Amino acid sequence: VATFPPGTQRAVLRLQAVREEDAGQYGCEGLSEAGVAFDSTELDVGSAPHFPEPLGDVVVEVGEPVRLLCRAEGSPAPRVSWSRQDGKPVTGWHEPRGASSQAHPSHCVPGASLDDQAIYICKAQNEFGKIQAEIKLTVTSHAPEIALASPMVRVLLGQPVSLPCVILAGRPFPARRWLKDGQPVAPSGHYSIRADGSLHIDQASQGDAGRYTCEVTNALGSHRQDVSLLGPVLITATEGAATTLQCNATGVPPPTVTWTKVEPILLSSHYHLDPDGTLLIPSSSPEDAGTYFCTATNSAGFSRREMQLSISTKPRISMNGSQASDPISILAVLGQEITLPCEVQGYPPPLVVWTRESQPLPLATTSYNVLPSGSLHLAEPQVMDAGLYTCTATNAAGNASLSYSLHVQGPCLLLGMLLLWAVGHNVPQGSCPRQALGGSRIPVPGSEGDPRLTSCFPPVPPQMLIGDGESHLTAVTNDSLRIHCRAMGIPPARIQ
C-alpha cells in the first residue's frame, strides 16, 4: 500500500505480512516541472533466530560419550556458540568432523568426566536477533566396590592358588592393584594377574604365606579387601627331643580335639594328648615326620588345621650299610685310583667336608675330587698322598666324622708284604687282641703251615692287579694267552 501524506513531499510504501518473495530492489521516482529524480533501496527479508524445539537436560555416566545439541533456526542461518555458566572454558569438546556449527550446532566429548558436569549456554545470533538457552549436563559416577570374599585361603605347598578381586561397582572404572604385607605385588614369573583381576600363583611356597590386599581406586574414592594366604604350619624338631603340636581350638560348647596322621592317632606311650588339645611326642624319631591334621568338633560344626612336621637327624656315616669304626686303614697301589667312601645319612642333608692332616681339602684338584655322593676320589695316588683323611658331615642337628689312614705302596704284591710284616713281627697264633690294633681276626693266605701268620689286621679294601699292571696286552692270532688277575685285601677278596 502506497500512501502520500498530505502537505508533505514524500510517499510511503507499506508492506504488510512480509514474505520471502517480497525481497528485492524497490525504486522511488519523483516528478516535478523541473524534471525527474529516482532512488532505490534493497529489501532483505529474514527472521530472527529461534529454537524449533526445547533444549533438554542431559544425564550420562562417567566415561560415556556426550553430545549436546543446540539446533537454532533463522534467516539468515544464525551463528551458534557455546559457553559455561560458571565461566570455565569449554575444553576437550569439539564439533563433529566435517561439520559447521550452523549445520550441526552441537558439541561432543568422547568420554565424560566429572569435570564436564556444568550448565552449558547455547547462543544463536543473526542480524535480526539473538537468543540463548541453557542445557544442564549431569555426570553420574559410583565409588568403587569389591565383592565380598573369604578372608582366609589355605593352600598346599607346590599347588596353584588364585586370590579373587571382583569389582561390583565403580564409575569411572577403578584402577586395581595387589599388595603383599603392604608392598606392591608386581606381575612376574611367580605372580600373575588374570583378566578377572584375581592374583594367581602357579606353585605356592612357604614364602607366599602372608596378608594380601586388593585395592581399587577411582575419582570418588577407594576400596580395599584383605585376604590371608595360609600354608601348612611347618614344625621342625630334633631326633630324640620332645615335640609338641599345638591345636588352639575355641568354641561354644568347648570342642573336642582329635589328631590324624594318615590314620587317627591313638594315645599311647609314644603320643600324649593334653587337655587343651596339644599333641606331645616325648621322643621324636624320623618316622614321626609327616602331615598331621588337628580337628576340633562340637555340636555347631568342626574346624581343621594342617601341620607339617619334619625331624632333623644327626649325620651318620656308614660303610656298606654298617656303622664304620674310626680310623680305617687303607692301602693304595701307587698310581692306581682309589675312592675313600663317605656314605652320609641325615636330615637336613648334611654338608660334607674333607680334611687331610686337619687341613681342609679343596673340592677338586688334578689329584683328587669330592664326588657328588661325598666320597673322596684319588685319581693317581702318590707316596706323598699318604696321611690321615677325615670326612666330616654337618647339619643343623649335629655332625659326624670318619677318618682314613691312607698308605700308598708300590705295585709289588701287597700280600707278600703282609706276610713279611707278620713274620717280621713274630706274631704268635691267637695273639694281638682287637683292642691293640683295631682289626679283626683274619687268616692270611698261605699261613696254614705257619701258625704265626694267623693274626689280626686292619680291614683293607680289595685291590686288583691284572697281568703285571699293563694297560694294554698284545697277543698273536691262534696262540694261547693267559691273563693273571691278582686280588689283594683284608679280609681276602673273592674273585668273580
What are the tens digits of pLDDT across the range 63-83? 788 888 888 998 888 999 899
Q: Which domains does the chain have, with CATH numbers?
A: 2-44 (no CATH), 48-140 (2.60.40.10), 142-230 (2.60.40.10), 234-310 (2.60.40.10), 324-409 (2.60.40.10), 414-490 (no CATH)
- pLDDT score for 321: 55
User: What 8-state DSSP symbol labels residue 94?
Assistant: B
Q: Where are the alpha helices (DSSP H) in 152-261?
A: none
Percent of the chain with pLDDT over 70: 82
- Has this prediction a pTM greater than 0.75? no
Encode pLDDT of 245-288 as tens digits: 988 888 899 999 999 998 899 888 899 999 888 999 999 999 99
How does residue 430 score in pLDDT terms, banded at 50, 70 and 90? Answer: very low
Mean confidence (pLDDT) of the chain: 81
CA distances from 443 to 130, 170, 275, 332, 437 (A): 132, 93, 64, 21, 15
pLDDT at 492: 66
122 pLDDT above the threshold of 80: yes
What is the identity of the amino acid at 265?
A: I
The whole-angstrom separation of Cα 175 and Cα 169 is 12
Residue 417 has pLDDT above 80, yes or no: no
On the CB side of 53, how many CA atoms lie within 13 Å of its CA?
5
pLDDT digits (tens, 9 = 90+) for 142-167: 888 998 888 888 887 788 999 999 99
Count of Cβ atoms closer than 10 Å to residue 72 Cβ? 24
Q: Is the pLDDT score of 318 beyond 60?
A: yes
pLDDT (0 to 100) of residue 465: 58
Three-state DSSP class for residue 409: strand
Cα separation, 321 vs 416, whole angstroms: 31
Residue 59: CB atoms within 10 A of its CB come to: 13
* Other CB atoms within 10 Å distance of the CB of residue 163: 23
Question: What is the pLDDT, as a whole number, of residue 153?
Answer: 86
What pLDDT, in 10s, does the model give residues 184-221?
998 888 899 998 899 999 888 878 888 999 999 988 88
Per-residue model confidence (pLDDT) at position 445: 41
Three-class DSSP category at 306:
strand
Closest CA to 118 of 68, 173, 170: 68
Candidates 469, 478, 432; CA nearest to 451 is 432
Q: Which helix (H) or strand (E) holds 424?
A: helix 414-424
Q: How many helices and strands in the chain, by DSSP H and E?
A: 2, 44
Q: Is 329 helix (H, G, I), strand (E, B) or coil?
A: strand
Q: How far is CA 38 from CA 31, 391, 447, in A?
A: 9, 135, 167
User: Which segment of 172-181, 241-250, 308-317, 325-334 scores lowest on mean pLDDT?
Assistant: 325-334
Q: Give, for 106, the enclosing helix (H) or strand (E).
A: strand 106-109
Contact 332, 408 (CB under 8 A): yes
Query: What's the start-to-end Cα distance of the chain, in Å?
Result: 147
What is the C-alpha separation between 260 and 305, in angstroms, rounded?
A: 10
Cis-peptide into 151, omega within 30 deg: no
Asked if pLDDT for residue 176 goes beyond 90, the answer is: yes
On the question of pLDDT at 235 being above 90, the answer is no
